[in-house]
Structure 1
Amino acid sequence: MTQTDTTLWQTIDALVQQIPFTKAKVESVLATHLVDREISKDSIRNAAFQFYVGGPAKMADGIVVGKVDLRVRHTGGHPGFLALGKLSGECVTLAMVRAHYSNLKLTDSPRGHSLDETTAYSAFLPWGTLSFAFAERNRDCLQGVSFDPKIAAADNAVK
């Protein structure tokens, strides 16, 4: 397992600075190796996006990212999509997330089908949407973080 010298919050900030996402940029920030999912064991072919997976990666604050999921469009013009999932280690509560992103909106809620369903809270930022997911299985601790940049963010430098 790789370990970064940054906390989860510093890592989130560093990843935002990497928009538009590429495999190399995400690998550099997370100090982990991503593999092409189409040649890995959970093979899914997609004509529009290239899928990469990786992990685990341990943050300096004890938080472990169990899975990294990066999606990059085969053709240019799209900033990509990134999800950090299966978070474990130090518990990150909703109050801790709100301390960093106070203007969160509830954007998804479980429908009662599985303990793996999540409640998601999102921050709508100038560069795009940053979402925080809390699974029913362990509602008090952050399960995942996703980055969904606006297409325009790929053309503008993120400040």
Structure 2
Amino acid sequence: MTQLKTTLWQAIDTLVAQLPFSKAKVETALGTPLREVDRNTYTVFLESADAVQLADNERIAKIDLRLGSEQAHPGLLSLDLEGGCINLDAVRAHYSNLKITDIPRGRSLDEATTHSAALPWGKLSFGFKERAPNCLAYVVLAPGEGD
């Protein structure tokens, strides 16, 4: 497992500074290699092999990077979290202008309430799964996406 001396919030800031995403930039920012797990005509799917331990007792259990086959596509990055418990108030302390952009539909405990912030670079989303609705489960960075 890779250990970073950075918090989740610092990691997000570092990743945003790397836009547009690339395999090399994300590997450098998060200190772990990514491997290609699938590919189609439009997208290359990359994932981490190992977890990344953060300084704030959080752990990035899985990194999911999706890169468009067209050079102009900025990519999409999802970070699945485990370990500590970051609640919605802690997220709002960093990103106060959040809107609910998705809600569970009652089909699975893995469905999430998603809160998103529209930022100058794109959309930053925070998901809270039904199985632990008070703890942040994932973060998605979607450059170039609006509301």
Structure 2 length as normaliser, TM-score?
Answer: 0.95
Structure having the higher helix fraction is 1
For 2:141, which of 139, 142, 147 is the aligned residue? Answer: 147
Tell me which stretches of 4 or more aligned residues in structure 1 moved more than 4 Å. Answer: none
Q: How many residues align?
A: 144
SS at match of 1:147: strand
Distance (Å, rounded) in 2 between the aligned partners of 1:30 and 1:139: 26
Aligned to 1:138: 132
Aligned to 2:35: 35
* Residues 59-70 of structure 1: pairs in structure 2 closer than 5 A: 59-70=54-65
Q: What letter corresponds to residue 2 of structure 1 in structure 2?
A: T
Q: What letter corresponds to residue 32 of structure 2 in structure 1?
A: T
Does residue 120 (structure 1) correspond to residue 121 (structure 2)? The answer is: no
After TM superposition, give the deviation of residue 119 of structure 1 in Å: 0.3
Does residue 82 (structure 1) correspond to residue 81 (structure 2)? The answer is: no
Distance (Å, rounded) in 1 between the aligned partners of 2:5 and 2:52: 11
Does residue 57 (structure 1) correspond to residue 38 (structure 2)? The answer is: no
Q: What letter corresponds to residue 77 of structure 2 in structure 1?
A: L
Q: What letter corresponds to residue 36 of structure 1 in structure 2?
A: E
Note the residue ranges of structure 2 that are not aligned, 5 or more in a row: none
Aligned to 2:7: 7
After TM superposition, give the deviation of residue 31 of structure 1 in Å: 0.7
SS at match of 1:129: strand
After TM superposition, give the deviation of residue 73 of structure 1 in Å: 1.0
Distance (Å, rounded) in 2 between the aligned partners of 1:74 and 1:114: 32
After TM superposition, give the deviation of residue 104 of structure 1 in Å: 0.2
Deviations 1:125-151 (Å, cap 9, x if unpaired)? 000000000000000100000000017
SS at match of 2:131: helix
Distance (Å, rounded) in 2 between the aligned partners of 1:75 and 1:100: 33
Distance (Å, rounded) in 2 between the aligned partners of 1:94 and 1:50: 32
After TM superposition, give the deviation of residue 29 of structure 1 in Å: 0.9
| Percent of paired sites with the same residue | 53
SS at match of 2:125: strand
SS at match of 1:10: helix
SS at match of 2:55: coil
Q: What letter corresponds to residue 67 of structure 1 in structure 2?
A: K
After TM superposition, give the deviation of residue 19 of structure 1 in Å: 0.6
After TM superposition, give the deviation of residue 12 of structure 1 in Å: 0.4
Note the residue ranges of structure 1 that are not aligned, 5 or more in a row: 39-44, 152-159
